[in-house]
Amino acid sequence: MKPSSVEKYKTSCAAVGIAPNSFITKGLEKQILHIRATKLQPEEWKPVMKCLENNSMLSQVIIEATVPAQCAYVKRTTSPSFTLAVKNQLMKSLASCLICSSVIKKLSVIYVPLKKTQLEFLTRGLSRNTSLDFLCLKGSVLGHKAFGEIFSVVRKSLNLTHIDFSHCKLSGESCSLIGALLRSQTLERHTQTWKHTLRYNNPDTSSANGLKRITLNGNPIGDEGCEIITTALQDDYWIKALDLQQCEITDEGAKMFLVMLEDNASVSVLDLRLNSRIMDANLLGKVNELLERNGQHDTEHYINGELPVAKTKKVIRTKKTPRRSISNINLRNSLNESRTSKKVTSYESYYNSVLNKSVVKNIEHISDISLKNEKDKFSPILIHQTPPKARTSSTKSIEEKQIFSMLDELKNDLEVYKKELYVEKERTKALERKVNDLERENLFLKKQQHEQSTDLEPELLETIETSFSQFHNFLDMLKQAGYGDLCQLVTK
């Protein structure tokens, strides 16, 4: 009988002569190996790798190189023990675990920038695994080149249902690979569905394997990437959720998704939060209506991903108070209304409180004095007790309205200038691309011309030499025939 993951880890720690890590031990009791690289000491890595190597009992592996998001207020530090050699050995052990395991379901490598050799180990393990359904490489596969290396494996893995490539510096060019992935999986799943159902008489889309959720948060894909993704999803029946937070998407990209959702009835979650360039709330409302329509017919339940936590100091709550949820689409309008209402009502509440206090004081004072006339009951003490600010409330409210109107105008002007700036930036980028293309073409033509000239030079020399040799042979023949005088004239 094979030893359990906990026993294997404890024996490895005993062999090195250290105490087992309590956090890792608690996770291994649930068949989850959670490695926090910033917390491990150099001597603790060897038992962890021994536990991971050829382990066929783990159901989930998490490798983190930074502090989790919920502890963002803690200062992030890099561990000196997490060296390049440790990363190589860790990825090698992970690859062996993926190859031999048939029960592992989730793999998360978070903020561990992978080099070429480490990517090779990881791709080798992923290509031979058939049980993994969730792959998270958040902040680990940086750039289009690294993404292309891992893409070839992900494209062929139909067992994966959710991939997360958040904060991987992917651009619109990388979305072309994602579009190819969606098209190839759509074709494969069409084939599977055709086999299980009699030529689409009663197609069951949920039975087919393949991706159902794609997370690309924090990647500057822009509207170019949106166009590629929406084109690939136009005839797709299996993708259920797309997470695109902080992807520099504008209103044009949102319109592309709106057109796609009019024909696509499978996507029920489209997370476009934290895209500050999307200004049209009505457009988001239409997108939300189509998503709700698709969600009613969806048998599986999908929800929006979590928002990133801002770096703030730790707050200790004494009482648990329920939090009010605000709609994503009407967030801007509701916040503006709440701010204006608070500012307007704050003065009224202040004046009322001051007036009530003055009334109470005056009543107590009046009760002690016997008044002769009824006019004295309403003495002008109340007028003297009222604060001077209360008499200028109307003028202040008018000034506030003017200030708010000016702020609204400034906000509108700012949005217009932002859009113009964005258009100008895109134009300059297009011109720079054209200049780069022309320079590359010029270099290519120069190189080609140089190669052709170098190729022709030896041929020309050979022809010249042969022509000179033939001419001298002709002169020798003339001398032998008795035309020596003629040869001397020719040489002269």
Q: For residue 304, what pLDDT band results from cuts at 50, 70 and 90?
A: low
What residues pair up with 134 in beta bridges, in sequence order?
106, 162
Percentages helix, strand, coil for the chain (3-state, rounded to 5) are 60, 5, 35
How confident is the model at residue 315, as a pLDDT? 44
| 260 vs 179: CA distance, rounded Å | 14
Tell me which residue of 39, 47, 60, 51 sits closest to 13, measured CA to CA. 47
| 453 vs 142: CA distance, rounded Å | 42
Q: In the numeric block, which tokens belong to residue 264?
A: 């696509």
Q: In the numeric block, which tokens belong to residue 142?
A: 């940086």
Q: For residue 32, what pLDDT band results from cuts at 50, 70 and 90?
A: very high
Q: For residue 332, what pLDDT band results from cuts at 50, 70 and 90?
A: very low
| Cβ-Cβ contacts under 8 Å for 491 (sequence gap 6 or more) | 475
Question: What would the pLDDT profile of 189-219 be if each residue is shown by its tens digit?
Answer: 877 776 666 554 555 666 678 899 999 999 9
| 459 vs 201: CA distance, rounded Å | 70
Q: For residue 406, what pLDDT band results from cuts at 50, 70 and 90?
A: confident
What number of other Cβ atoms are within 10 A of residue 340's Cβ? 14
Q: In the numeric block, which tokens belong to residue 229?
A: 């993704």
Q: Looking at per-residue confidence, does 310 or 29 come out higher?
A: 29
pLDDT greater than 80 at residue 221:
yes
Residue 446: in which H helix or E strand, if any? helix 393-480
Q: For residue 456, what pLDDT band results from cuts at 50, 70 and 90?
A: low
Q: Which residue has the tokens 């107590």?
A: 364
What number of other Cβ atoms are within 10 A of residue 183's Cβ? 15
What is the distance of C-alpha 486 from the center of its chain? 89
Averaged pLDDT for residues 29-42 = 92
Question: What would the pLDDT profile of 239-294 be if each residue is shown by its tens digit?
Answer: 999 999 999 999 999 999 999 999 888 899 999 999 999 988 999 999 999 999 98
pLDDT greater than 60 at residue 138:
yes
Q: Looking at per-residue confidence, does 142 or 351 come out higher?
A: 142
pLDDT greater than 80 at residue 457:
no
| 304 vs 213: CA distance, rounded Å | 11
Q: For residue 490, what pLDDT band results from cuts at 50, 70 and 90?
A: low
pLDDT greater than 60 at residue 377:
no
- Interhelix angle 222-232/172-196, nearest 10 degrees: 10
Question: What would the pLDDT profile of 141-195 be if each residue is shown by its tens digit?
Answer: 999 999 998 988 888 888 999 999 999 999 888 999 999 988 888 888 877 776 6
Tell me which residue of 330, 246, 239 sits closest to 284, measured CA to CA. 330
How confident is the model at residue 38, as a pLDDT? 86
Averaged pLDDT for residues 380-397 = 48
How confident is the model at residue 454, as a pLDDT? 59
| 371 vs 471: CA distance, rounded Å | 148
Mean pLDDT of the chain: 78
Most confident segment among 97-111, 395-409, 439-453: 97-111
